[in-house]
A and B are shown apart, each in its own frame.
Chain A
Amino acid sequence: MIKRQFNINFMGIRRIALGVSIALILGSLALLMTKGLNLGIDFSGGNLVQLEFASPVAVSDIRDSLVEVEQGQSVIQAYSDRGVIIRLQVEDEAVQQTLSVLRDSFGELEVLRLEKVGPVVGEQLRKEAIIAVVIALVGILGYITLRFRFRFGIASVAALLHDTIITLGVFSLTGREISLPFIAAILTIVGYSLNDTIVVLDRVRENWKKLRQLGIDGLINLSVNQTLSRTINTSLTTFLPVLALFLWGGPVIANFAFAFLVGIVVGTYSSIYISGALLAEWYARSPEKK
């Protein structure tokens, strides 16, 4: 079993940790700017149909028949031997035609889900998503500043931005689709990852009277070590159900669950390291007068 008292010198290698984080952030930003994100129809508009054929069909055959209605460039994702999600290129009429062509070629099929988002609405949703994330971050900054101190607030929000950017980077790398539920996942991770950060900051606040005695490094080290088993356990207990969701929850919710998985892992790391390390750096360079 895990030792109860930890005594790891986290702050000792904080420069390395910060360095790794910066590298990850830059890497993610680079990916975002070059490869970009796979925007789902929620944000880029488009038509999507999920259907199941009566008997197994190969994706290449499906693509061949789609060429007839000029939908050869559609994105076809098969999630089972007879179930596919097709993202059509454009136009509503195409949906009806596509379905009839597929019926002609492959016989009976069942339309499980049909989604269309017009470009206007897609644009709107994109704006709203960004605004929502910004508002949440500002709200959180305000709350932490209220309950702790301003620097703690900045350190927390910095950690959250770090988490968000890296999660986006992972999605860009894996090419997974960004949809509305993804934004919900990001916001939830923002709120949740803060839990860990708060627990650490709370402990820092509690130990603050030992600042003079231990120095900021020692203080943060102590706080992080004291809360380490709690941090890891809570992350683990949240990670496990989400893992179950990812593996067994079905294709519709898979990307959503994946965002959480990445967010929990990165968030735990950032709670242990980033907030603390940033605070240590900041205080080391400009100690507060109080």
Chain B
Amino acid sequence: MLKRDRWRLILVAVVVIAALLTVFPIRGRVRLGLDLEGGAHILLQAVGTPEQPVTNDSVERLLAVLRNRVDQYGVTEPVIQREGDDRIIVDLPGVADPEAALELIGKTALLEFRQVVEAGSALPPGPERGNYDSRESYLAAQQRWDDVKTSIEEADALMMERAEEDPELLFAPGDEESAYLLGKAYVSGKYLVDAKTSYDNLGRPVVTLEFDSEGAQLFDEATAGNIGRQIAIVLDGVVISAPVVQERISGGNAQISGRFSSAQAQRLAIMLRAGALPVPVDILENRSVGPTMGSDSIRAGIRAGLIGAFMVLLFMLIYYRAQGLVADAALFVTLLLVFAGLISFKATLTLPGIAGIILTIGMAVDGNILIFERMKEEIASGKTPYASVDAGFRKAFTTIFDANVTTLIAAAVLFYFGSGPIRGFAVTLSIGIIASVFSALVVTRALLQVYQGRGRARVAR
């Protein structure tokens, strides 16, 4: 064969070997996007109020607190970045629980111990028909319950009015549909030195707090002045418990019990340790995917890809026969190059990206089909099989080029405007296009020259 053809063959061999080395073993080499690995992508915006506008400083402090929280939660390779003046992007790969991530990032976690001015009653559970002998007694009980409910609502409304009139007072809901009217804050979370999780003597999860010396003193005064009365433990404006003070506590240690699970207690401890968010945040966008979902998606993608590839391989074999085999070999090389490209450019593979690869399977044979059809025409016009390969490639080149450039334009636009998964799609698509063009022009040609050049000129019809 011609020297040029030999060089082409060597080039193909070198590229394929390099690609094989890059790709295998594949485990862990491809960077996975959040939608495949599992994790959370959260976009936050700092919320300012007229009294407390958002400043550069408060956003920086916000970043610091978030980093601290995420650090303690133990996420590997988190991304916490400022976007614009008042927005922050948080990417937490591998977070198993989407709800947890949201709470960790979005919750202000302002803890306060406040004076209880008035405590509303909790609404008892409504009467159940089964507990009463007769319908009349049940209805009577229902009526009494309704009366109780109304009186509680009225009392709550009165408390709300008082809170509105007096700036020192705060109306706060508690659990079990109870409400409180709270007075001044004695001590807050910023005096905390440590917060840990533990279990109380009933085995329920609690958070134990340790105040610094200043906080300990404030707490001491608060407990001393309220013996026999309730003190409300308020988290972000909701009363999580309001225990009665039994004795003066001077050691600066306190315990918060509420209805939390041990996972929730742990998160609360983290947030208390890292500090409350200096400004409240609004969650503008949240996309969290659990790891099960992620691996399900990968599995589904691989399955669809294999089935799709198989269908294409079969079709090419049936329709183009021997040449189809060449196209199929080129397809393998294309896919190999796509993965090698993804790995070497450290591109991130996302779910749409997998779709992009599957699309590439279809598009990869495009170039080959173009060439084969051209070759048919060349042979029909009288050229030898060997010369028709040459002519076919030459004429098909401009068409292949034009056709793929336009898809690249679309991919470029997607890359520019998209983010995350869409970007992943644009990147995989682009790599796929480049790989398939290379493979159609170089690999297929090399293989065909070898095949035709050996004189076994079996042309596929």
User: What residues make up the interface of A, taking CB atoms closer than 8 Å to B?
Assistant: 1, 4, 50, 92, 95-96, 99, 110-118, 120-121, 128-129, 131-132, 135-136, 139-140, 143-144, 147, 180-181, 183-184, 187-188, 190-192, 194-195, 198-199, 202, 226-227, 229-230, 233-234, 236-245, 247-250, 252-253, 256-257, 260
**Inter-chain contact A241/B359, CB cutoff 8 Å:** yes
Separation of A51 and B305 alpha carbons in the complex (Å): 25
Q: Which residues in window 316-337 of B have CB below 8 A to A? A: 316, 319
Q: How far is the CA of A248 from the CA of B303 in the complex (A)?
A: 7
User: Which residue of chain B has the shortest Cβ distance to A245 in the bound complex?
Assistant: B304
Asked if B300 contacts A260 (CB within 8 A), the reply is no
- The DSSP consensus for interface residues of chain B is helix
Say yes or no: A118-B358 contact (C-beta < 8 A), given A194-B406, A249-B301: no
With contact pairs A99-B99, A147-B402 given, residues A187 and B410 touching in the complex (Cβ less than 8 Å):
yes
Identify A184's interface contact among B43, B102, B319, B422, CB under 8 A. Answer: B422
Known: A92-B283, A115-B287, A180-B422. 5 other contacts (CB 8 A): A117-B284, A188-B411, A198-B402, A199-B403, A241-B304
B308 touching A242, Cβ below 8 Å: yes
Instruction: Indicate if B405 sits at the interface (CB-CB under 8 A).
Output: yes
Whether A128 and B417, one on each chain, are in contact in the complex, defined by CB atoms closer than 8 angstroms, is: yes
Q: Are A245 and B409 in contact (CB under 8 A)?
A: no
Name the B residues within 8 Å of A95 (CB-CB). 99
State the CA gap A197–B417 with chains docked (Å).
26
Report B-chain residues with C-beta under 8 Å of the C-beta of A183. Answer: 422
Q: Which residues of B sit under 8 angstroms from A260, Cβ to Cβ?
A: 355, 359
Contact A132 to B362, CB < 8 A, known contacts A202-B399, A244-B307? no
Q: Decide if B359 touches A188 in the complex (CB within 8 Å).
A: yes
Contact of B319 with A1 in the complex, beta carbons under 8 Å? yes
Q: Is there an interface contact between A192 and B407, defined as CB atoms closer than 8 Å?
A: yes
Q: Is the CB of B409 within 8 A of A1?
A: no
Majority secondary structure, A binding face: helix
What residues make up the interface of B, taking CB atoms closer than 8 Å to A?
Answer: 35, 43, 97-99, 102, 106, 282-290, 292-293, 296-297, 300-301, 303-305, 307-309, 311-312, 315-316, 319, 351-352, 354-355, 358-359, 361-363, 365-366, 369-370, 373, 376-377, 398-399, 402-411, 413-414, 416-418, 421-422, 425-426, 429, 461
The answer for the CA separation of A242 and B461 in the assembled complex, in Å, is 29
With a 10 A CB-CB cut-off, give which of A135, A234, A237, A253 has the most chain B CB atoms.
A237
Query: Known: A116-B285, A241-B359, A242-B362. Is A191-B98 also a contact (CB below 8 A)?
Result: no
Chain B residue with minimal CB distance to A190? B410
Q: How far is the CA of A111 from the CA of B99 in the complex (A)?
A: 8
Give the chain B neighbours of A191 by CB distance below 8 A.
406-411
Q: Are B409 and A249 in contact (CB under 8 A)?
A: no
Tell whether, in the assembled complex, residue B300 and residue A250 are in contact, meaning their CB atoms are under 8 Å apart: yes
Contact of A253 among B106, B284, B307, B352 (CB under 8 A): B352
A181 near B421 with CB under 8 A, answer: yes
In Å, the complex CA distance between A15 and B195 comes to: 78
A51 to chain B: closest residue by CB: B290
Q: Can you report 8 residue pairs joining A to B where beta carbons are below 8 Å apart?
A: A4-B376, A113-B98, A121-B43, A180-B418, A183-B422, A194-B403, A227-B373, A253-B351
Asked if residues A198 and B425 are in contact (CB atoms below 8 Å), the reply is no
Find out whether the CB atom of A198 lies under 8 angstroms from the CB atom of B399.
yes
Residues of A within 8 A of B418 (CB): 132, 180, 184
A252 and B351 contacting across the interface, CB-CB below 8 Å: yes
Given A199-B403, A247-B304, A188 and B285 contact (CB-CB distance below 8 Å): no
Q: Which residues of chain A have C-beta atoms less than 8 A from B426's C-beta?
A: 184
**Is B285 a contact of A121 with CB atoms below 8 Å?**
yes
Residues A238 and B359 in contact, CB atoms below 8 Å apart: yes
Contact A50 B293 (CB under 8 A): yes
A131→B417 CA distance, assembly (Å): 9
Q: Is B361's CB under 8 angstroms from A110's CB?
A: no
Residue of A nearest to B402 (CB): A198
Q: Distance in Å from the Cβ of A207 to the closest Cβ of chain B?
A: 12
Contact A249 B399 (CB under 8 A): no
In the complex, the answer to whether A181 meets B352 with C-beta atoms within 8 Å is: yes
State A191–B415 Cα separation when bound (angstroms).
14
